[in-house]
Structures are given as structure tokens and as C-alpha cells.
Amino acid sequence: MKEFTLSNGVKVPSLAYGTWLIKNERAAECTKTALECGYRHVDTAQAYGNEEGVGQGIRDSGLKREDVFITTKVKAEYKSYKKAKQSIEESLKRLNVDYIDLILIHCPQPWILFRGPKKFYKENIQVWKALEEAYKDGKVKAIGVSNFNINDLKNIMDNSEIKPMVNQILCHVGNTPIDVIKFCQENDIIVESYSPIAHGAALKNKEITAMANKYNVSNPQLCIKYTLQLDTISIPKASSKEHISDNMKLDFEISKEDMIELLKLNEIDYGKDQFWPVFKKRRD
């Protein structure tokens, strides 16, 4: 599996197993299955409420700790140094590990204020200081952010000792924030694409289906490959063994012309309104 190298030299598998909306009681089974299928990068978050299950699944897999790359995220609502520092310790405890490979600030604003007028620039610097401290102490191997736009990134870069190594963003066919991707890649920040299947909307899209048929692959496989060919890490989520395994079958190449056609598509997603009540309940 291809790896990306972060600005500090840490290597990250290009395909990650996403665990959003997988309940804690199923997370161990699903994580173990993903690792058995060949994944070596698992993505979770404090807000998902399944860190314990993810950690258990990694132990149940029988793999060595150093052979599995673990990403988690500080809750979007935690906007102080003290709260962030405490939350990192809690994640270490819930995952039951000595270190976390990558930890991210989950969002520049609390979710209820996402993309609103208040930017939380000063607060994010305080959270970032807690991440920097954990990094220097060896509790985490890499630090980054999620859902940050260019101004949010510049705020961290201009006011901190260590710049973000990763920015995990919503990126899929029909929603490709090229400006953010370009900025990150120009500044040696690895981009991770979450929800590459557009929260499931790509499964029924006619244009995507036609393109997938051309390559004799499934819609999810086409969409995952699309994000990989954008030179980003892809984070598909699945719960059945069949889908977990199928999402790894990516031995094909999308032509440059077809990548351009896919890039032209827009507004393919079920939208945040469908998922917000579930996510709000999780974060509470």
C-alpha cells in the first residue's frame, strides 16, 4: 500500500479505515475485520464515541502496535489548552495505547457554529499548543487539523512553532475543494479526504455509475481512487466485511481526461442536515 511521508518524516498509509457512525460496541469487530483485510491505518475521533472499541479491535487483530497507524481527533467543542490537554490523555486511555500516531483538531469551530462568523483563532492556537506539547513529549507522533480552511491554517502557521502536518477535509467527487488542497500541498501539509463516497450519495449518481461501469469497478471504488489520484489520503467507511474488502480493490487507474470530468461534477452529497442530529447526539 502506498504511503505518504509527513513533514516530520512519519509515514502514513494512503488508505485509512473510517469509523464514523460505527458504534463502540461494533467498533472492535469492524476494526479487526478491516485490519484482517489489509488496512493499516484506522481513523477515529473522540466525538465518534468508539475509541475504546477501535483500540480493542487493534489488539484483537494480533498486529504489533507499530504496524497500525491510529488517527484520532480532539473534540471540536474543546477550545482551550487545558481541555485539549486533558482530552489527549483521555484518548490515550480509551484507546489503551502508549502513543497516538496522529491527532487532529476536529474542527476550527464547535460544530454548532461550523463555518459561522466567529473564527476561534485565539482558541485554536491554545488547543494547538496542547498538541505541540503532546508531540514533543512523544505521546503523539504527528499533529494536524481537520475541516480547516486556508485562513484557519494560516492562523496556526503564523502563530505556532510547528505547522500542521495534516488537514483532513471533506473531499469527494462532487465536492473537491481544490483551493484548500493546493494550498496544503504547496505548504507540505498532507490532505486526507473523508467521506470519499459522499456520505453514500455517490452510490446512486448516474454520472459516477457510468464512469464506474467504464472501468468495470463499483461506484465506491471509483470514488476512493479519485481521492487517491488527487494525491490525498482516502478514508472510506464501511461496516460489512464485503464492503470493507471491496474498498481496497483499487488496482486500476482513472485517466487524466476522466479525472477532469469527475472534477467538474458538483453538489453530490446528501448534505449535513441528514447527519447532523446523529453527530450532535454523539458529541454530546
Q: State pLDDT tens for residues 5-61.
A: 999 999 999 999 999 999 999 999 999 999 999 999 999 999 999 999 999 999 999
- The CA distance from 140 to 125, in Å, is 18
pLDDT at 270: 52
10 burial level (CB within 10 Å; 0-12, 13-18, 19+): middle
pTM for the whole thing?
0.93
> 267 versus 227: which is more confidently predicted?
227
Largest distance between two CA atoms of the chain: 53
Q: State pLDDT tens for residues 81-109.
A: 999 999 999 999 999 999 999 999 999 99
Whether the predicted pLDDT of 271 surpasses 70: no
> Which sign, positive or negative, has the C-alpha torsion 213, 215, 216, 220?
negative
Q: Where are the chain's structural domains?
A: 9-283
To the question of domain 9-283 being in CATH 3.40.50.720, the answer is no
Q: Is 194 a catalytic residue?
A: no
Q: What is the mean pLDDT of the chain?
A: 93
pLDDT at 267: 72
pLDDT at 223: 97
Catalytic option among 17, 39, 48, 78: 48
